[in-house]
């Protein structure tokens, strides 16, 4: 492409992508162009603006003051351009464009994937990029449109739309419960075989119960400890003890009779699940439509 044909939106996308990914090479790979072209195009952009945007060394990239200003405003302009195109598509009653989503690994796999596939089938012009990971994310820095999380990110300028409760259930296999005296209160669990979740360096798990008589906390450590909820589910189904599992993971086994609830009158304290997105994405018809689809799917699951 001749330099005089380079449009401003392409240059803005290229520059913001370099900043987000931290290197020319990474931006080149994502755009499927050569690193040499990326370098020439950024040089052309700096010449057009008559200012230096980046300090470049062999090991790092840092923004100049002008570069910081350009990055912030370019992000804003690109968002407005997306909203404009989105609004025009909406007038034609069609959804299109790219949707970049992040969600917790297991929830994304079991709950979000069916919704995502249904949405894609209904709106074939939409391109979806999904990352299922439990790592902390920065929506702007990482380039995501929506983050599904069971915690608010109150320190960031995000809108948090509540989707429902991320419920947990205490359960065990019928064969295990038939061989033991069933627990009548949370303290009785300490006399049972437990399967627990390791979190970071801690091998203990805190179970918080809510009851008409008040709240009760119990710190437990299982004879089987995993850092993987699917492994815990498998162990419990095989009769190795009692565990706390996300309801969305345990529900099929509960319905099939492979698992039974334990202490059903004591509710495990749950977290609230949110769809997080930035203020600038608020008017996006595509984002609203996808979150609506997820919320509807979760509501239907709750009714089943």
Mutual orientation of helices 24-31 and 35-49 as an angle, nearest 10°? 110
**CATH class of the domain whose range is 168-269:** alpha beta
- The CATH 3.40.190.290 domain(s) of the chain lie at 168-269
Q: What is the largest CA-CA distance in the chain?
A: 80
Distances from the Cα of 112 to the Cαs of 21, 67, 136, 290, in angstroms? Answer: 26, 37, 18, 11
Residue 283 reports pLDDT greater than 60 = no
Q: Whose CA is closest to 26, among 1, 61, 53?
A: 61
pLDDT (0 to 100) of residue 155: 54
Distance CA 230, CA 236 (A): 10
The average pLDDT across 193-216 equals 85
Lowest mean pLDDT of 45-54, 232-241, 272-281, name the range: 272-281
Reported as a single tens digit per residue, the pLDDT across 2-48 is 444 568 889 999 999 999 888 888 888 888 899 899 989 999 999 99
101, pLDDT greater than 90:
yes
pTM of the model: 0.65
Distance between the two ends of the chain, CA-based, in angstroms?
56
Q: Which of 225, 187, 232 is nearest to 204 (CA)?
A: 225
Residue predicted with more confidence, 233 or 284: 233
CB count within 10 Å of CB 230 equals 14
CA distances from 171 to 44, 166, 243, 259 (A): 62, 16, 6, 6
CA torsion through residues 284, 290, 291, 295, sign? positive
94-164+272-303 maps to CATH 3.30.70.890: no
Closest to 277 measured CA to CA, from 290, 296, 268, 264: 290
pLDDT of residue 205: 87
Question: Phi/psi at 79 (nearest 5 deg)?
Answer: -65, -45
- pLDDT tens, position by position, 138-169: 777 777 889 998 875 555 567 888 888 888 99
> pLDDT digits over 108-141, tens only?
999 999 999 999 999 898 999 999 988 887 777 7
Q: How far is the CA of 221 from the CAs of 132, 177, 295, in angstroms? A: 28, 19, 35
Q: Which residue has the higher pLDDT, 27 or 301?
A: 27
Pick the CATH number of 3-77 from 3.30.2130.10, 1.10.10.10, 3.30.70.20, 1.20.58.220: 1.10.10.10
In the chain, which residues fall in CATH 1.10.10.10? 3-77
Dist CA 274 CA 152 (whole Å): 7
Query: Please, how many CA atoms are within 13 Å of residue 91, restricted to the half-sphere of its CB?
Result: 5
pLDDT band at 1 (very low <50, low <70, confident <90, very high): very low
CATH 3.40.190.10-classified regions of the chain: 94-164+272-303
């Amino acid at each position: 492409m001749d330099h005089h044909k380079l449009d401003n939106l392409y240059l803005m996308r290229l520059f913001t992508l370099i900043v987000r990914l931290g290197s020319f090479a990474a931006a080149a790979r994502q755009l499927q162009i050569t690193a040499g072209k990326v370098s020439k195009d950024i040089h052309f952009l700096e010449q057009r603006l008559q200012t230096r945007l980046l300090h470049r060394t062999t090991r790092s990239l840092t923004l100049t003051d002008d570069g910081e200003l350009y990055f912030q405003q370019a992000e804003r302009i690109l968002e407005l351009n997306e909203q404009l195109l989105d609004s025009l598509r909406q007038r034609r009653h069609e959804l299109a464009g790219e949707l970049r989503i992040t969600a917790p690994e297991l929830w994304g796999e079991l709950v979000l994937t069916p919704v995502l596939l249904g949405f894609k089938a209904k709106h074939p012009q939409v391109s979806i990029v999904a990352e299922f990971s439990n790592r902390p994310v920065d929506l702007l820095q990482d380039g995501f449109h929506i983050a599904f999380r069971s915690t608010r990110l109150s320190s960031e300028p995000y809108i948090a739309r509540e989707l429902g409760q991320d419920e947990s259930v205490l359960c065990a296999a019928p064969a295990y419960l038939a061989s033991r005296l069933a627990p009548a209160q949370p303290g009785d669990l300490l006399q049972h075989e437990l399967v627990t979740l390791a979190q970071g360096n801690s091998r203990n798990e805190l179970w918080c119960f809510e009851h008409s008589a008040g709240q009760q906390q119990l710190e437990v450590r299982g004879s089987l400890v995993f850092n993987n909820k699917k492994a815990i589910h498998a162990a419990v189904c095989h009769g190795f003890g009692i565990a706390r599992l996300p309801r969305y993971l345990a529900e099929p086994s509960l319905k099939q009779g492979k698992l039974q609830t334990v202490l059903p009158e004591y509710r495990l304290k749950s977290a609230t699940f949110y769809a997080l997105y930035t203020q600038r994405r608020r008017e996006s018809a595509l984002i609203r439509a996808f979150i609506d689809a997820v919320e509807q799917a979760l509501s239907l699951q709750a009714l089943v």
